[in-house]
Amino acid sequence: MLSIFCCQQRDEKQERSFRAARAKGDIVIGAVASWDSGETLWQGIELAADEVNAKGGVLGRKIRIIKKDDKGSVDEGRFVAQSFACNPDMVAVIGHVDSYISIPASIIYEYYGLVMLSPLSTAPELTVRDGFNLIFRNVPTDKDIARQLAKFAIDMGYQEMMVCFLENAYGRGLARAFEKQFEKTGGTIIDTLSYDSLSDSGYFKKSLTTWRDNFSFDAIFLAGTVPQAAEFISEAGKLGIKVPVIGGDGLLSPDLWETGGNRAEGTIVAGFYNPDDPKPMVQQFNRAFRKKYKQLPDDNAAQGYDAVKLIACSIKKAGTTVPCKIADALRLTKNQMGVTGSHTFNERGDVIDKAIIIKVVRNNKFEIWPLHDTF
């Protein structure tokens, strides 16, 4: 494992800022995720960097992305974070994806003076620590997502709901936030169920049978991740449970119907990108992405694309690549439009007032829910 002290003799933050203030070559930015499941995220990042560089770069300098894989592991995530920290010319990092990796990795980035902008980590814990000034996200938090999903459920007339959640930071946080918001807006949580990473279809079948035989409810809120959450949905369908299933962004993957089969039809999830938005920026992004990658962009691609553009814009506003100055510019960003919507950051580094996009599975693809624009 890399030493936390790396190879610098002077204070690491000072060394990085000193070099950044005088640098004239490429602007070095790290990109890290579990790329086995994040191919489109990388494509969005790559496309944005290519576009910035094609227009002359930022401050007359090209952006150079160094890509590394955290393999969905906390230990590997820390290792990558330390390797980035040992590059004194790197000024920012886009990543990680999973909150359980982003949270410990962010400590390393803050300590070594690197701006971190996570495109997909939603756990509130990422940005709650006092004294942290370099950690940001351009995705709504679980609390924001839960608030909007709870409003959607109430608007749809769902008054009594069951909650099922994965027993980890993401599942617990999203479920608790939803329960609080749903009950605050007049709904009732009838029962809750938790499961862990080892729970199988047999466990889901037994628990869902109990729900079916003993309770009456309008819908189920599912705070989990695919493919395991799709097994839950599949078992519910097999048992004849026909109420809608509503989930967070952890269900936002083709694995939902690839594992859940036709029983995933009608599942409602929180998304971040509307490819049908007529705004010229969005349609231009669609065309460029399709031309380069022969497919339409998804939510991950759009989030990665916006992350690069936000960092590039902040460097331009700051007039320097000194990380603390980039962070200052990011924090002052107000209503900056991206392909996923408007970006305004608060003092903690969270993007605020950013609407989610309600999506529903129809014929093995995600379609925009007709009422998504009511938020």
Q: What is the CATH number of the domain that holds 243?
A: 3.40.50.2300
Mean pLDDT for 349-372 is: 90
| Co-location of 21 and 125 in the same domain | yes
| Co-location of 93 and 122 in the same domain | yes
Q: How many other CB atoms are found less than 10 A from the CB of residue 323?
A: 24
Q: 70 lies in which domain range?
A: 12-140+277-343
Rounded to whole angstroms, how far apart are CA atoms 280 and 283?
Answer: 5
Q: Is 341 left (phi over 0), alpha (psi -120 to 50) or beta?
A: left
| Co-location of 99 and 202 in the same domain | no
pLDDT tens track for 162-172: 999 999 888 99
CA angle 372, 175, 368 (to 5 degrees): 20
Phi, psi of 160 (to 5 degrees): -125, 120
Token output for 125: 């814990």
Number of structural domains (the chain) is 2
Mean pLDDT for 340-356 is: 97
| Co-location of 210 and 189 in the same domain | yes
Task: List the beta strands (DSSP E) in 108-260.
Answer: 115-118, 135-137, 160-166, 188-195, 219-223, 245-247
Does any domain span residue 4? no
| Co-location of 221 and 162 in the same domain | yes
Does any domain span residue 204? yes
pLDDT tens track for 162-206: 999 999 888 999 999 999 999 999 999 999 999 999 999 999 999
Per cent of the chain over pLDDT 70 is: 96
What pLDDT does 2 receive?
46
Cβ contact 235:259 at 8 Å: no
Cβ contact 339:306 at 8 Å: yes
Using alpha carbons, select from 312, 72, 108 the residue that is nearest to residue 304.
Answer: 312
Rounded to two decimals, the pTM is 0.93
Token output for 285: 């992004």
Say yes or no to pLDDT of 337 above 50: yes
